[in-house]
Amino acid sequence: MSREQILKLAEPIYASLVLFVLTVGPVVTLWRDAQRFLPVDAAQSATYVLAQIPALMLLSVRSLRLKRSVSLTLLFVLCAWTLLASIISRYSAFAIPSALKTLLATATGLYLAVSFSNTKQLVIVSASMQIGIVLSYISVMRIWTDSRLGNGQWSGIMINPNFLGPVAVTAVVANVGLMALCWKEVVPRWKLAVILGILGVTFFDVVVLVNTHSANPVLAASMSTVIVASSYIFINRKAQRVQSFALQMVAGVGLITASALALLVYVFNGLVNGPVLPVNVLQSRIYAWQHAWQGGLERPFFGWGDGVAWGDPLFRRLDGWWTVELLAHSHSGYLETLLDSGVLALLLLIAYLVFGCLEATKRGLSDSHSLIIFTFVFLYIYLSIFEPFLVTNYFTWTILVMFLAGRVTHMVSPRTHWSSLVQDRS
């Protein structure tokens, strides 16, 4: 086997492993015993960094071109602003490393976007989630420490059911997408066997998901699937104009639904809290949202610094502090962005998601690939209304960046890349 063949086989394995690491749970589990006696924040951060260094190096040396787009520009500005807000924060010694982890997770998403085709990306996402799910199942069956809560919820190696739930639902969505692609692309004699195999794995993932008792991933997946699947009848038509219009409708409906849901739970939560859901289900999140909003208004321009607000005594002593004594984050990706980096960062994030979705309607992908991408994007947009991107689940942000980054236009070897640079300079 040649060196190129070995690298071609090894790289998807590495990509799967790095996404597995970014599910957060494995790193926390790795350092859990040491954490009982010593502070291990630096060790955990170093683990994330070491896992992603190869991705950063590969991204930097390859001449792989993403489509130049408004969304990519907004993403770069968002990352720069997040770093700036962390540099000038009161606790910059803690905020800067957290911001650098955010930048690194973003770079890993771009690496995945430029290194693999859409189908390989889907396989990598499924495989990486499967590692965590299988290990979590083993930990539950063997009754490892913290693998199961007292009320029967499964957390596995992810420490918390709300960590394992997004992993399991991501695997389910990825597997469904793979089955849809197999139906169209796999040769007939292998089609049934491959689909049945993936279906068996999906059933296993659903069992794990159900046992987490985590409702947010199920709600987010259901909403995104309904919106995307309802448009298939139009996207499957031959006319290019009809397909393009249908994709634009998918993007519009998905974003409007996300806005309405966020408005409902953040502002008009009294319509849901009690009449629709039991008070004890949503109340702690409402306290977290209210406190995060108050903290965001306290420092609207630069925020408190990436990932440090909830450890800042001044933030902890704002009005209503007693309602969030046991909480460590805002339970919202959007409010956490506001809290960390201010209003401009929140607007940049929203603009990035909007332009990313709109640009995805113009890429000329097959109908199956387009629908799969939108399903994942809306899954994470909806999920982040109730859970933060980069506090509990780094991988959700990385995968979101990967799918919104666009298509690979061409790929050349590193040697050709450096040769072209030398020629350009000369």
Q: How far apart are CA 104 and CA 406, in angstroms?
A: 19
- Whether residue 1 is predicted with pLDDT greater than 70 in this model: the reply is no
The pLDDT assigned to 425 comes to: 36
The pLDDT assigned to 129 comes to: 96
The pLDDT assigned to 426 comes to: 35
The pLDDT assigned to 187 comes to: 67
Residue 108 lies in a domain: yes
What is the extent of the structural domain holding 340? 21-30+66-406
> What is the total count of domains within the chain?
1
Per residue in 272-319, pLDDT (tens digit) is 877 777 777 788 888 999 999 999 999 999 999 998 998 889 988 888
Residue 235 lies in a domain: yes
Contacts of 243 (CB under 8 A, 6+ apart): 234, 235, 237, 367
What percent of the chain has pLDDT above 70?
89
- Whether residue 162 is predicted with pLDDT greater than 80 in this model: the reply is yes
Residues 207-220 as b or e (16 or more Cβ within 10 Å = b) = ebbebbebebbbbb
Per residue in 58-99, pLDDT (tens digit) is 998 875 567 778 999 999 999 999 999 999 999 998 999 989
The pLDDT assigned to 343 comes to: 95
Residue 237 lies in a domain: yes
DSSP letters of 195-232?
HHHHHHHHHHHHHHHHHHT-HHHHHHHHHHHHHHHTTH
Residue 336 lies in a domain: yes
Q: How confident is the model at residue 260 (pLDDT cuts 50, 70, 90)?
A: very high
The pLDDT assigned to 422 comes to: 36
Beta carbons of 400 and 110 less than 8 angstroms apart: no
Residue 8 lies in a domain: no
Radius of gyration, CA atoms only, the chain? 21
- Whether residue 52 is predicted with pLDDT greater than 90 in this model: the reply is yes
The pLDDT assigned to 318 comes to: 87
Residue 357 lies in a domain: yes
Predicted structure pTM score = 0.90
Residue 327 lies in a domain: yes
Beta carbons of 112 and 373 less than 8 angstroms apart: no
Structure tokens at 397: 């942000």
- Whether residue 407 is predicted with pLDDT greater than 70 in this model: the reply is no
SS3 for 280-327 is HHHHHHHHHHHHHHHHHHHCCCCCCCCCCHHHCHHHHCCCCHHHHCCC
Structure tokens at 388: 């933060």
Pick 252 or 185 by higher pLDDT: 252
Per residue in 310-363, pLDDT (tens digit) is 888 998 888 888 888 878 888 899 999 999 999 999 999 999 999 999 888 887
Q: How confident is the model at residue 188 (pLDDT cuts 50, 70, 90)?
A: confident
Residue 132 lies in a domain: yes
Per residue in 96-150, pLDDT (tens digit) is 998 999 999 999 999 999 889 888 999 999 999 999 999 999 999 998 888 898 7
Q: Tell me the pLDDT of the chain averaged across its residues.
A: 85
Per residue in 4-51, pLDDT (tens digit) is 777 788 999 999 999 999 998 889 888 887 877 777 788 888 999 999
- DSSP designation for 157: G
Q: Helix (H) and strand (E) counts for the chain?
A: 19, 0
